[in-house]
Chain A
Amino acid sequence: MAVDVNKPKPITLDTFTRGIWKENPVFVMLLGMCPVLAVTNSTMNALAMGLATMFVLVCSSTLVSLMRHLIPKQVRIATYIVIIATFVTIVDYLIQAISLELYKALGAFIQLIVVNCIILGRAEAYASKHRVTKAVVNAVGMGVGFAIGLLALGTVRELLGSGTLLGFSVFGSSFQPWAIMVLPPGGFFVLGSWLLLFSWLEERKTRKSEEAEIEGEVAHGA
């Protein structure tokens, strides 16, 4: 992530989509696996966790970016943690105010957003080195990428494990729910399957571009 601080590059679509595809926190960087595995037993929980994390990520990135010239680098981690913890506490109260049931379902994982490495990672590697707008766009992209990752697991696990989607029955009453999918092992199974799919796609892409290169060289040589 070598970026020249003196010459700010303009915001491109890549600033935003980087977090969704190329550097997806769940499927590419494999960061923040604890909530990914723990609270994706239903689509609703996954969505709520994704939104909560995105809120903390965007707010803390904004504040860190705004204060990037003020914070001495000797105490930057302490400062970031205080900033992140503040927004996590805010999100904690907001969710309690929105729905107690949701709050109960997410349990300790809301408080654990404090130690989510995506957020501290973004603050340290991006927000502290970029302008506010750029940091916000990047944080939103990462947040969306994380939420997509959670939803990808949450929908599959809810469909297979309870036969429902957002609580509505999909397969009808004859479907025998695959209870293991909503249990912790199911989280590993589904995550593993998604990773397999993505690495297969990646490998296919590399192979194709290699083949294209070889063909190009041959054509050039002839």
Chain B
Amino acid sequence: MSTEGQIPNLEQPPGPGKIIKVLGGVAMLSGLLVVLTYQLTLPTIMENRRIAREKAVLSVIPGATSFIEFMLSEHEGLIRVKADGSTKVPEGMVDPVYAGYDNAGQFMGVALEAGAQGYQDVVRTLYGYSPPCECIVGMTVLESKETPGLGDKVETDPDFIANFKALEAKLSGDKKALANPIETVKHGTKKHPWQIDAISGSTVTSNAIGKGLNNSAQRLLPLLRYHLDEFEIEQ
């Protein structure tokens, strides 16, 4: 580029000042546009996320019409999440717990998150747990990148969804783990109430859901046991 300047009749190369000015100007304009859009769309996006989560939570706790968000910390127990987002997140493992209530304010159950590696990526699910029945009463897929037409049947197949109407999740005698681990069995071989009947053709995804539920229930339900009375509160 430096030789160009010496040849007559050719455009003079721009100086570094001009280049920096143009790049700086474009970057500033870009920043302005991005920040403007971000600020304008943020309330709508947050509202969309809230609605999506509300729908998911209420769909896994039968009878619930409203919910309160809690955090279950391994060191500090159950903490109610403040609506304005000012809650301090404690150190260590923290899991979200959504407590569902019916119209009369009666505690109906909790929704917990689970996840396990599927065929493509982690399949994240939300499941409802009913303490009086000691069973899982609902399940919905939060995030899945499973093969369309095969792995995504776990979200639509009515027979598979029926597995989660009353899936047993009883704690063992010492209350430290589940009495019977939740497991996924081959399609058509379900014998016990803690087994999930897999979808043939979506075995990997069915297994991932079972594994995720088992891991989450084994870890969270023994912890949650100490805090069940804390859910029975005035809303």
Contact = CB atoms under 8 A, between A and B. Distances in A.
A207 B42 CA distance: 57
A41 B148 contact: yes
A17 B148 CA distance: 35
Interface of B: 1, 13-14, 18-19, 22-23, 26-27, 29-30, 33-34, 37-38, 41, 44-45, 48-49, 52, 143, 145, 147-150
Given A79-B23, A86-B33, 12 more contacts: A41-B148, A79-B26, A86-B29, A87-B33, A90-B33, A90-B34, A93-B41, A97-B45, A100-B49, A104-B143, A162-B149, A182-B149
Contacts of A41: 148
Given A96-B45, A97-B48, A83 B26 contact: yes
A162 B149 CA distance: 8
Contacts of A100: 45, 48-49, 52
Given A93-B45, A179-B150, A72 B26 contact: no
Interface residues of A, number: 30
Contact of A97 (B29, B30, B41, B147): B41
Contacts of B49: 100
9 residue pairs, one from A and one from B, having the closest CB atoms = A179-B149, A86-B30, A97-B44, A97-B41, A72-B14, A93-B41, A90-B37, A96-B45, A100-B48
A82 B26 contact: yes
Contacts of B29: 86
A3 interface: no
Given A90-B33, A100-B49, A177 B18 contact: no
A93 B38 contact: yes
Given A82-B26, A82-B30, A89-B37, A74 B150 contact: no
Nearest to B143: A104
Contacts of B48: 96-97, 99-100
